[in-house]
Amino acid sequence: MQIIPAIDLIGGKCVRLSQGDYSSKKEYHDDPLEMAKRFEGAGITRLHLVDLDGAKAKKIVNADILQRISSGTSLQVDFGGGIQADEEIEKAFALGAKQVTGGSIAVKNAGLFQAWIKKYGSEKIILGADAKDRKIAVGGWEETTTVDLIPFIKDYAAQGISYVICTDVAKDGLLQGPSVDLYQDILKELPGIKLIASGGVSSVKDLEELEKIGVYGTIVGKAYYEGKVTLGEMAAFV
């Protein structure tokens, strides 16, 4: 299982939110590049970088940080937040992102997202399938749709998507354990996808449980920043 640490950006700093609520923002570090280098130094190879300012602005805001991390480390960066147009996805790749995650765009402009899958291929485009009560949530999770999660993923798998990041909004940032049952159900229906679990990790035990059910990767955010999972423990999975 891949361990994928997360760096969420607001105002150029490493922050975490709880359940996507911007008013719950907590700052952890003012130099994202230094944080990325810590992960790299532990032998971790991937990074989930989210431009929360960009998600609000609907365009990339923290471009300089994406570029600094991409050029200053060997980490494979998957980047998300605010990528809503062709010029934005082109910019993300030009700045060094290895993969781009599309969430709201995959719901609100399916035609454009499908065009990106065709143009860039399944290795470079990740489907961000965020869910609340197994319904797709969009717009920084402020809006829950009537779209059922598993059929949504199935539709995109049929169009070539192989990487899926699934966040259970109810779990995110609360350190109360991940949605293991949800991920098991997704993998039962779609055994061929590379499912990346996100949200709720609170201990190494959670990571071991997710590895056991066969997820491709797990994103670790608040659990690391709050000292619930150490760098050494994350590195042990590499």
pLDDT at 173: 64
- What is the per-residue pLDDT across 175-210, written as a single tens digit (0 to 9) for each? 789 999 999 999 999 999 999 999 999 999 999 999
Q: What is the DSSP letter of 197?
A: E
- What is the per-residue pLDDT across 20-50, written as a single tens digit (0 to 9) for each? 777 888 999 999 999 999 999 999 999 999 9
Residue 19 has pLDDT above 90, yes or no: no
The phi, psi pair for 31, rounded to 5°, reads -130, 90
Is 168 annotated in the active site? no
CA torsion, ordered 194, 195, 201, 204, to nearest 10 deg: -40
pLDDT at 2: 97
Residue from 8, 51, 78, 206 carrying the catalytic annotation: 8
* Structural domains in the chain, sorted by start: 2-235 (3.20.20.70)
Is 8 annotated in the active site? yes
For residues 147-158, average pLDDT:
96
Residue from 53, 78, 130, 206 carrying the catalytic annotation: 130
